[in-house]
C-alpha cells in the first residue's frame, strides 16, 4: 500500500482526491502497490464531502504516521506550506506539490533536503497546470543543451485577454470568470501583475540551466498596461498580445529571463493559444523547437499532473531523485535590455514626431482612434535604445514584438 496525505482541500487538493478516487482502479494497475488516500488536512470542515472521514486538522498526525509515503502539498504560498514541506521531507516522506511560489523561492533548499533524506520532491503541476512539461524537459530532452524557453505560462491572464477580445468583457468581468473557474491565485494580482508567470519561468530556467533562479532576479511586467486599443492595433497588423515568460541561455553560463506582454505574430503557434490554455516552446540544440500545449490551470487538469507525480513515486517509493538544480548567484540573470527586437509603441504624438524619434517605422491603424494617437512598430532596437528614442513622445504602451 502507498499511503497519500493531501494538505489543503481547495481547488487543486479536492481535484487530487477526486482523481485518486475516480481513476483509482486504473492507477492501481499502473503501480506495484495500491495507492490509498489516507488523510486530508485543511483548516475548514467538509462534513458533506465523500472524503469526510479522512480529514485531520493537525499536521503532526501526518508527519508522525510512518505509513504515510507521499504528502501532496496544495495549500499554496511560501509560509505554512514551506514549514509543512520541510517537516514532511525531514520525516522521510516524499512530497508532491503544485505550489510554484514555494518551488521558485525555496526549490533549491527543498530539493537538497529531499536528496539528503533519500526521498523525492516533485512538482510537475507547478508549471503549465495539466501540461506535461517538467518531466519531458528533464527526461525526454535530456540530450539537449536548452537554448531557450518561451511560453504563455499563466492561464488567468490568457483567459482575461481572450475574453476581453472575443466576448467584449471588461477586465473585471473576465477576472471574475477566471476566479469562478478556479484559475486565479488567492491574490489575483499574482496573475495579473505577472508574478505567477515569473515563478514558472524561474522553475523552467532552473530545470533547463541547473541553477536556482530567484523571482526577484527576473524583470516582470503584467497585463495591467494592455488596453483594448493595443489589442486592436496589434490585430490590424496580424499580431496578438500575449503575456510571455522567456528564458534565454547567454554566454558564460548566464541567463536572460523576463516576463512581459509581447506582440506575437499570427504565424506563431503561440498566438492561437486562447482562454485558460498555456503553451511552452522549448528550443534544444539537437531537437530544435518543441511545443507543449494544454490547460494551464483548473481543478482536474492540475490534479492530473499532481497525481502523475504520485504515481511516479508509487512505482518505487524508495527511489530518491537527485536534486535537479543547484544554488544560483546574484549575477546569474542578465537583463533583457541586451536583446534586440522590434517594438510596438502607442503614443500621444504625430506620425512625423514618431519618425523623427525612431526612424523607419510601420504605422498602425484602428477604428475610432483619437486624433493625437499614433501607434507603430519600430525597427530592431534594444530596450534602452527604444526608451531613449521615444522619451519625448508621451508613450502610452511599449511592448516587444516576438521576432
Ligand atoms: P485554494 O485556495 O483553492 O486551496 C488551498 C486550500 O488550502 C484551501 O482549502 C485552504 O483553506 C487550505 N489551507 C489554507 N491554509 C491551510 C493550513 N494552514 N492548513 C491546511 N489547509 C490550509 O488554492 P488552489 O487549490 O487553487 O491552489 C493551491 C496551490 O496550487 C497554489 O500554490 C496554487 O498556486 C497552485 N496551483 C493552482 C492551480 C489552479 O488552477 N487553481 C493550478 C496550478 C497550481 P481556506 O480556503 O479556508 O483558506
Ligand atoms: N493562477 C495560475 C494560472 C494557476 O492562472 O495560471 C495555474 O498555475
CA distance 202 to 245: 9
Tens of pLDDT, residue by residue, the chain (403 residues)? 999 999 999 999 999 999 999 999 999 999 999 999 999 999 999 999 999 999 999 999 999 999 999 999 999 999 999 999 999 999 999 999 999 999 999 999 999 999 999 999 999 999 999 999 999 999 999 999 999 999 999 999 999 999 988 998 999 999 999 999 999 999 999 999 999 999 999 999 999 999 999 999 999 999 999 999 999 999 999 999 999 999 999 999 999 999 999 999 999 999 999 999 999 999 999 999 999 999 999 999 999 999 999 999 999 999 988 889 999 999 999 999 999 999 999 999 999 999 999 999 999 999 999 999 999 999 999 999 999 999 999 999 999 999 8
Q: What is the DSSP string of 368-384?
A: T--TTEEEEEE-SB-HH
CA-77 nearest atom, ligand 1: 32
Instruction: Give residue 297 CA to ligand 2 midpoint distance, Å.
Output: 5
Q: What is the pTM of this model?
A: 0.98
Q: Cell numbers of 123, please? A: 512538482
Residues with CB under 6 A from ligand 1: 7-13, 41-44, 74-76, 80, 98-101, 125, 129, 182-183, 185-186, 297-298, 302
Ramachandran region of residue 182, left (φ > 0), alpha (ψ -120 to 50) or beta?
left
Instruction: Give residue 306 CA to ligand 1 midpoint distance, Å.
Output: 13
Question: Where do runs of H (alpha helix) occur along 262-382?
Answer: 299-315, 351-358
The CB of 72 under 6 Å from ligand 2? The reply is no
* pLDDT one-digit tens code per residue, 121-166: 999 999 999 999 999 999 999 999 999 999 999 999 999 999 988 9
Mutate to test the pocket of ligand 2, among 161, 174, 176, 183 (most ligand atoms within 8 A of CB): 183
Residue nearest to atom 44 of ligand 1 (CA): 98
Q: Is 276 helix (H, G, I), strand (E, B) or coil?
A: coil
CA distance 269 to 265: 8
Question: Where do runs of H (alpha helix) occur along 215-328?
Answer: 228-236, 299-315
Q: Which of 362, 375, 52 is nearest to 233 (CA)?
A: 375
CA distance 367 to 213: 43
| Helix (H), strand (E) at residue 56 | strand 55-56
CA distance 374 to 347: 5
* pLDDT one-digit tens code per residue, 248-263: 999 999 999 999 999 9
The CB of 309 under 6 Å from ligand 2? The reply is no
Q: Which of 268, 247, 13 is nearest to 153 (CA)?
A: 247
Residue nearest to atom 38 of ligand 1 (CA): 297
Q: Cell numbers of 275, please? A: 482562454
Mutate to test the pocket of ligand 2, among 103, 191, 259, 280 (most ligand atoms within 8 A of CB): 191
Instruction: Give residue 5 CA to ligand 1 midpoint distance, Å.
Output: 15
Residue 146's Cα: distance from chain center in Å?
Answer: 18
Q: What is the mean pLDDT of the chain?
A: 97
Which is it for strands 277-284 and 146-152: parallel, antiparallel or unpaired? antiparallel
Ligand lying closest to the C-alpha of residue 124:
1
Q: Cell numbers of 356, please? A: 523623427
CA-156 nearest atom, ligand 2: 5
375, 346 in Cβ contact below 8 A?
yes
Burial of 370 (0-12, 13-18, 19+ CB in 10 A): exposed
The CB of 154 under 6 Å from ligand 2? The reply is yes
Q: Cell numbers of 344, please? A: 510596438
CB contact set of 57 (below 8 Å; sequence gap of 6+)? 41, 42, 43
Catalytic residue among 38, 93, 100, 200: 200
Query: Could you confirm whether 200 is annotated as catalytic?
Result: yes
Residue nearest to atom 7 of ligand 2 (CA): 297
CA distance 188 to 167: 21
CA-200 nearest atom, ligand 2: 8
Amino acid at each position: 500500500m502507498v499511503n497519500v496525505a493531501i494538505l489543503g482541500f481547495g481547488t487543486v487538493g479536492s481535484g487530487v482526491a477526486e482523481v485518486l478516487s475516480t481513476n483509482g482502479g486504473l492507477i492501481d494497475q499502473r503501480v506495484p502497490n495500491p495507492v490509498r488516500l489516507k488523510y486530508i488536512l485543511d483548516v475548514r470542515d467538509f462534513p458533506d464531502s465523500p472524503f469526510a472521514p479522512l480529514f485531520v486538522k493537525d499536521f503532526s498526525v501526518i508527519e508522525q504516521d510512518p505509513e504515510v509515503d507521499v504528502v501532496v502539498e496544495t495549500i499554496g504560498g511560501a509560509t505554512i506550506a514551506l514549514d509543512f514541506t520541510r517537516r514532511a521531507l525531514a520525516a522521510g516522506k516524499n512530497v508532491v506539490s503544485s505550489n510554484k511560489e514555494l518551488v521558485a523561492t525555496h526549490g533549491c533548499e527543498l530539493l537538497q533536503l529531499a536528496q539528503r533524506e533519500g526521498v523525492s520532491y516533485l512538482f510537475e503541476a507547478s508549471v503549465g497546470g495539466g501540461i506535461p512539461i517538467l518531466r519531458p524537459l528533464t527526461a525526454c530532452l535530456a540530450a539537449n543543451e536548452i537554448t531557450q524557453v518561451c511560453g504563455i505560462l499563466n492561464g488567468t491572464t490568457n483567459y482575461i485577454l481572450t475574453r476581453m477580445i472575443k466576448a467584449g468583457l471588461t477586465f473585471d468581468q473576465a477576472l471574475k470568470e477566471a476566479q469562478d473557474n478556479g484559475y486565479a491565485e488567492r491574490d489575483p494580482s499574482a496573475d495579473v501583475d505577472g508574478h505567477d508567470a515569473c515563478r514558472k519561468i524561474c522553475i523552467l530556467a532552473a530545470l533547463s540551466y541547473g541553477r536556482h533562479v530567484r523571482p526577484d532576479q527576473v524583470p516582470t511586467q503584467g497585463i495591467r498596461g494592455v488596453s483594448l486599443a493595443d489589442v486592436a492595433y496589434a490585430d490590424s497588423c496580424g499580431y496578438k498580445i500575449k503575456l510571455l515568460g522567456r528564458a534565454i541561455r547567454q554566454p558564460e553560463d548566464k541567463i536572460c529571463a523576463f516576463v512581459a506582454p509581447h506582440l506575437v505574430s499570427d504565424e506563431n503557434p503561440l498566438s492561437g493559444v486562447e482562454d485558460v490554455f498555456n503553451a511552452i516552446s522549448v528550443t534544444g540544440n539537437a531537437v530544435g523547437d518543441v511545443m507543449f500545449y494544454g490547460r494551464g490551470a483548473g481543478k482536474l487538469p492540475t490534479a492530473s499532473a499532481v497525481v502523475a507525480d504520485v504515481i511516479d513515486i508509487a512505482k518505487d517509493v524508495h527511489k530518491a531523485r537527485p536534486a535537479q538544480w543547484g544554488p544560483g548567484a546574484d549575477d546569474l540573470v542578465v537583463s533583457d535590455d541586451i536583446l534586440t527586437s522590434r517594438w510596438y509603441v502607442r503614443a500621444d504624438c504625430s506620425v512625423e514626431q514618431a519618425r523623427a524619434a525612431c526612424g523607419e517605422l510601420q504605422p498602425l491603424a484602428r477604428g475610432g482612434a483619437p486624433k493625437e494617437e499614433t501607434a507603430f512598430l519600430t525597427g530592431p532596437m534594444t530596450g534602452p535604445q527604444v526608451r531613449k528614442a521615444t522619451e519625448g513622445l508621451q508613450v502610452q504602451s511599449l511592448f516587444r514584438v516576438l521576432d
